[in-house]
Amino acid sequence: MTTKNVDLTDFGFVRAAAVAPVLALADPATNAQRIAGHLRQLADQHVSIALFPELCLTGYTCEDLFFSTGLHHAVRRALTTVSEATDRIVAVVGAPWRAPDGRLFNAAVVVAGGRIRGVVPKQIQPNYGEFYERRWFASGADVDLPVEDPDFGEFRLGCNQLFRAGAIHFGIEICEDLWAPRPPGIEQCLAGAELVLNPSASPEHIAKADFRRSLVHMASARGVSGYLYAGCGPMESTKDVVYGGHLLAFENGKALGESDRFSMDARTLVTEFDVERLHHDRAQNTTFAQSPRPGDYRRIRALDENPGLKTLTREIEPHPFVPDDEARLEARAREIMHIQATGLARRALASGADRLVLGLSGGLDSTLAFLVCLEALEKLERDPDRLHALTLPGPATSEHTLTSARRLAAAANVRLKEIPIHAAVRQHLEDLEHETRDDVVFENAQARERTQILFNYGNKSGGIVVGTGSLSELALGWCTYNADHMASYNVNAGVPKTMIRYLVRWYAGNRAGTALSEVLNRILETPVSPELLPAEEGRIAQHTEQIIGPYELHDFFLFHFMRNGARPTKIYHLACLAFDGLYPPAEIHRWLLTFVRRFFSQQFKRTTLPAGPKVGTITLSPRGDWRMPDEATAEGVLAELESIDPG
C-alpha cells in the first residue's frame, strides 16, 4: 500500500452531498432537469448520496396546487427524469406522493440505479404559525404499504425503511420530524442507520438558523450518527416567509460543514461521513449500545459500492485537541483551567493539606501546573504563599530553565526554594558503583531524587505534591517510573502537549500581569526537554521532539487512535492529509511507528497512574477511559504499518 493508490473508502469514508437547487415553483419538469444536472456533476465528484430539499420537485409553497392532478402527473414525469441520472448515485428528492388508498403524502423519494427504491412519508405535519400542512397532507406515521407502480415498479411506501449505499445505511426524517418530541431519526439510528437525511423546508426568522443548527447538532450526537440536512432556498414563495437554503452536515456532534444562506444561486455542501468512526463510537457508548432496538425496519439496497475516494473534502484538523478559532480557544482555555483548578482545590480539601508542593523546572508542563496551583489557591481563598515551589537543579539542568523557574516564581510572588541535587545524585551513583553519565541509570537517578525530595518536603510542610506530566507524555510513556510519573494529584494528566502550549499562551495574554506574561512567553520559546543529560555550555542538551518526534504528530495519532478508534494505517493516511506540506509521508510513518511501539510498551506506567482530572474526551487513567493489559503486543499493528510504502 502506498499513499498514492489508497482508496479512503477502505477506511470507512462515504461521500454525500446536500443541495439547495434553484427552484422553479410548481414546475416539476424544470426542477427535475436541474436536479439531474446536479446529480451528474456530483457523481463525477464520487458522491454516493445526494439529498435535495423537501418537496423540491414542486416547491414546498405550492399550497392548494398540491390538489392538482396535473401537478401530480408532472411529478411522475419528473421522477423519470431524475431516475435517468442515478446510474452511479443515490438521489433523495422531495415530492408529493399519492397512495393507492387516496391519501396524499409529503414524501422523500429514494432513487438509485434508474428506479425508485422506496418512498418515505413525512410523519409530523406542522399546523401552527406559518405552517398549514394538514390541509394537504396525511401523516405517514405507521404507514407501511407495498407499491406496484406501472411506471416505477415495486417498492414500499413507509417510514420503517433503511437504505444501504455501499458501506453506509441511511434513514430519512422530513423537516418537522426533527422538531418532534420523539424524532423518528433516533429510531432509525437504533435500527442501524449510520446517517440520517433530512429534506426540509424551514423558513427563516431571527435566530432560527441557530436553533436549527442546534437541533441537527444534537440529533447527530444523540443518534451517534451522521446527519445531513438540506433546506429549501429563496426561490420558494416569499408571500409570508423567506427560505434560506440552509445546508448542514454533522457527525456525532461535530460540525462537518455548513452553507451560507439566502443565495439566489444553487448551493451544494459536499462532505464525507466516517462509518468506521461511528461504529467505534456506538460500540464504546454503552448507553447507545444497550438501548432497545426497533425490530420492524426493512433494509433496501440502493447502491452496491461506494465510488472510490483519493482525498477528502472534510477538513482533517492537524491539531484536533485545539480549537481553530480564537473565540473558541479562549472559552476552551477558561474551561480547562477551571476544571484543573477545581479538581486540585477539591483534592486539597479532601486531604486536609494546607499547602501545595510543586517541582518547578522552568519548562512548559510545570509552568502550567504552577498556574493551576495559583488558580486553585484563589478558589480556596488562600494566599499564594501556600504554594511551595521547589526547583531542584542537577547535573543536566541548563541555566536557561533555571533562570525561567526563578523569574516565574518571582513574577507571581511565590517563594522558590532551591535545592541542588548534584551531591545526592553523585552519592547515589557511587553507592551503586555506577560511573556512566549518559545512560538511563544516570537520567532516572535525577528524576527519582527530585520526586523523593518533593514527597518528603510535602510531609514536612503538610502539603500534597502536584504532578505536572501531560497526557501526551503518558501516551508515550515519556516519564520515569516512580519519579515524575508519580504525584499526589496530577493536574495535567488530561491535557495534551499541544493544548498546554496554548493554555500557557492564553494565560499570558489574558490572566497574567506584565512581569508574569514576559516570563511565560520566555518559557513558551524554550525547547521541550527532560534535561536529564548534562547541559552543553549551559544550554539544553536534550530536545524531546528530536528523540521521540513532534508532539503535534503524536497528539494527532493519540486523538485518532483513542477518540475515533482508528487503525494505524488509517491514522497514517489521515495524517498525510492533515500535515501535507509540513511533514513528508516518510517522517509521519517513522513517528507513527514510534508512537505505536511506545504506546503499547509503556502501558505499565499508565496502569499505576495517580489521580488527576479528565478535561477532554480522552484520558489514560486506568480508572477512567483506558484499560489495557500491560503485556499487550503491538506486533500485528506494527506489521500492518510496516507494509506501507511511504515513498
Measured distance CA(172)–CA(119) in Å, rounded:
10
454 backbone dihedrals φ, ψ, rounded to 5°: -60, -45
- Whole-number Å distance between alpha carbons of 454 and 465: 7
Question: What is the rounded distance in angstroms from the CA atom of residue 469 to the CA atom of residue 407?
Answer: 21
Q: What share of the chain is helix, strand, coil (3-state, %, to 5)?
A: 40, 20, 40
Q: Of 54, 194, 236, 251, which residue is the catalytic one? A: 54
For 82-92, b/e burial (b = at least 16 CB within 10 A) is bbebbebbbbb
Query: What 3-state DSSP class applies to 391?
Result: strand
H/E element holding 416?
A: strand 416-418
Q: Which residue has the cell 526547583?
A: 391
Q: How many CB atoms lie within 10 A of CB 597?
A: 16
**Rounded CA gap, 145 and 275, in Å?**
30
d(CA 164, CA 89): 12
The residue whose grid cell reads 455501499 is 166
- Catalytic residue flag (residue 54): yes
Query: Which residue among the candidates 56, 62, 159, 175 is catalytic per the annotation?
Result: 175
Give the E-state strand segments of 463-600 in sequence order. 463-467, 489-490
C-alpha cell recorded at residue 354: 494546607
Alpha-carbon span 583 to 581, nearest angstrom: 6
Cell triple for 219: 440529533
**Beta carbons of 52 and 231 less than 8 angstroms apart:** no
The neighbour count for residue 325, using CB atoms within 10 Å, is 7
The one catalytic residue in 56, 62, 122, 479 is 122
Residue 599 and residue 564 in contact, taking contact as beta carbons nearer than 8 Å: no
Q: Which residue has the cell 510498551?
A: 601
Report, as residue numbers or ranges, the catalytic residues: 54, 122, 175
